[in-house]
Amino acid sequence: MNRDSLAPPFRHGGPLGRAHFKVQPEDFVVEELLGFEPSGEGEHCLVWVEKRDLDSNTAGARLADALGLRRRLVSHCGLKDRHAVTRQWFSLHMPGQASPEPAALESEGLRVLRITRNTRKLRCGIHFGNRFTIRLREPSFDFASALQRWQQIVSEGVPNLFGEQRFGHEGRNVEKALAMFRGEFTPGDRLLRGLLLSSVRSHLFNAVIAERMERGIWDQPLAGEVYGFPDNGTLLLINNQRGDEAQRFAEGNVELTAPLWGSGELHSADAVRALEMEVASRFPELTAGLEAAGLRQERRVMRLRPIHPALIALPAGDLQLAFDLPRGTYATTVLRELAELEETRETP
């Protein structure tokens, strides 16, 4: 591979300096934005919880065990960081059963904030996004520089890259996927197989963005673009476009997209398709492996902008950032344009 998936290019010239990151769980607060109000009735019990230093799957298992439910009857919208304080929804399939009291579900690191009902279970990716409140400790750069860079990030956005956590320990998921494609390695379960396939798609997506950045056309519409809305949702395929998409892109109402590789024809055309095919041709084993695995061509927006952004200086000289992001995007993708993050956790 001719590009390190863990070192994609920067939009704003690289980080200003270093800062300590996730020293305490409270330094990284994530609140899930469901995007709809539960119906208040139905066979699914929705539980809004706050977790501290606890991953989503472990929390879901605890909720199931507390009520004697099979773990497959507990679902959630997505995985949240473990070393953090996170608030997210879980749904418990409990037809004909009364909702439990909060105390019956709570345990160390897990606090119940609200219980209600809904007619449908929560499924992965149905939420709108996430709200982040992040503390960067002891930055090696001053607040004025941070504020100037933050304003650039908010105004111009950053490449919507998949973060390093997508590529596994030491970034080896793509190597493992190659071994899987060659028949040299068999994943132990479907979850691991899915993670490896996602890593390959993410690597190819990042490679397309990197190529467009190197050519200076990351934020310039070309012939044959597929546009998408900033919430990482609906796409405007070429045969559904009305002709004013370039203007809507300039106004920030729609974004350019890049492929999440799979079988079938690329949705792009003309100059964009030629560029994407050129990048894909550098990774023949990866593209063939994804196609053989049955994944279909999809798209993802290439630019990420913080929503409701805020930056303040704390009394100790630390920085606090707050912003919302659409589902499926990464806070570290935004932060990397500001600071080189050093995860130095306090010993309990």
Q: Check residue 2 and give its pLDDT.
A: 37
CB 238 within 8 A of CB 185: no
Binned at pLDDT 50, 70 and 90, residue 232 comes out as confident
Q: For the stretch 145-163, what's the b/e string if a residue is b when 16 or more beta carbons lie within 10 angstroms of its beta carbon?
A: ebeebbebbbeebbbbbbb
Binned at pLDDT 50, 70 and 90, residue 7 comes out as low
Mean of pLDDT values over 8-16: 91
Q: And the tokens for 148?
A: 């100037």
CA 329 to CA 11: how far, in whole Å? 17
Q: And the tokens for 252?
A: 């920030």
Tokens 């494609």, residue located: 181
Pairing of strands 28-33, 129-137: antiparallel
Q: At residue 280, does pLDDT exceed 80?
A: yes
Angle between helices 270-280 and 190-214 (to 10 degrees): 120
Q: Which of 55, 81, 219, 270 is catalytic?
A: 81
Q: At residue 9, does pLDDT exceed 60?
A: yes
User: Which is nearest to 87 in space by CA: 32, 10, 39?
Assistant: 32
CA 300 to CA 135: how far, in whole Å? 29
Q: At residue 112, does pLDDT exceed 70?
A: yes
CB 310 within 8 A of CB 147: no
CA 111 to CA 87: how far, in whole Å? 9
DSSP-H helix ranges across 68-217: 143-156, 173-181, 190-214
Q: And the tokens for 1?
A: 């591979």
Q: What percent of the chain is predicted at pLDDT more than 70?
A: 97
Which residue did the predictor score with more confidence, 170 or 221? 221
Q: And the tokens for 197?
A: 């396939």
DSSP 232: S
Which residue did the predictor score with more confidence, 231 or 97? 97
Annotation says 81 is catalytic: yes
- The chain-wide mean pLDDT, for the chain, equals 92
CB 19 within 8 A of CB 140: yes
Q: What is the pLDDT of residues 292-318, one digit of tens each?
A: 999 999 999 999 999 999 999 998 899
Q: What is the pLDDT of residues 27-55, one digit of tens each?
A: 999 999 998 999 999 999 999 999 999 99
Binned at pLDDT 50, 70 and 90, residue 79 comes out as confident
Q: At residue 126, does pLDDT exceed 90?
A: no
Binned at pLDDT 50, 70 and 90, residue 184 comes out as very high
The amino acid at residue 27 is D
Q: At residue 92, does pLDDT exceed 70?
A: yes
Q: Check residue 323 and give its pLDDT.
A: 98
CA 248 to CA 198: how far, in whole Å? 30
Binned at pLDDT 50, 70 and 90, residue 5 comes out as very low
Tokens 């105004």, residue located: 155
Q: Is the dihedral of CA 159, 160, 166, 172 positive or negative?
A: negative
Mean of pLDDT values over 193-206: 94
Mean of pLDDT values over 313-336: 94
Q: And the tokens for 273?
A: 């398709």
Q: Check residue 164 and give its pLDDT.
A: 80
Decide: helix, strand or coil at residue 186. coil
Binned at pLDDT 50, 70 and 90, residue 1 comes out as very low
Q: Check residue 347 and give its pLDDT.
A: 60
Q: At residue 242, does pLDDT exceed 50?
A: yes
Mean of pLDDT values over 102-113: 96
